[in-house]
Amino acid sequence: FCLHKTAITFQDFLQYIVKENPQKYIVMVLDNARIHHAKLLKPFLKMDSQRLSLIFHHLIHRI
């Protein structure tokens, strides 16, 4: 449940970023947290793949 809820929050954040930047291509560099790979995100990421790119890097340290 916690992962699902956190993934929803992350998706809400992505939707906000895309909505607030309608004319821009967005690239985000992320760590490999499980929420960033949640199955729940796949439909959203597929739909917005023309405007949003997520790059996963294992060397990013969480603060």
Give the Cβ contact number of residue 42 at 10 Å. 10
61: in domain: no
Is 19 within a domain?
yes
DSSP states along 8-44: HHHHHHHHHHHHH-TTS-EEEEE---GGGG-GGGHHH
- pLDDT tens digits for 23-53? 999 999 998 888 898 999 999 989 888 899 9
Question: Residue 40 falls within a domain, yes or no?
Answer: yes
State the pTM of this model: 0.78
Residue 16 forms part of a structural domain = yes
pLDDT at residue 58 tops 90: no
pLDDT value at 4 more than 80? no
The predicted pLDDT at position 42 comes to 93
**Domain range for 14:** 2-56
Number of structural domains (the chain) is: 1
How much of the chain, in percent, has pLDDT values that exceed 70?
A: 87
What pLDDT is recorded for position 62? 61
In a domain, 62, yes or no: no
Residues 42 and 11: beta-carbon distance below 8 Å = no
Q: Does some domain include residue 49?
A: yes
Tell me if 63 is assigned to some domain: no
Cβ contact 42:13 at 8 Å: no
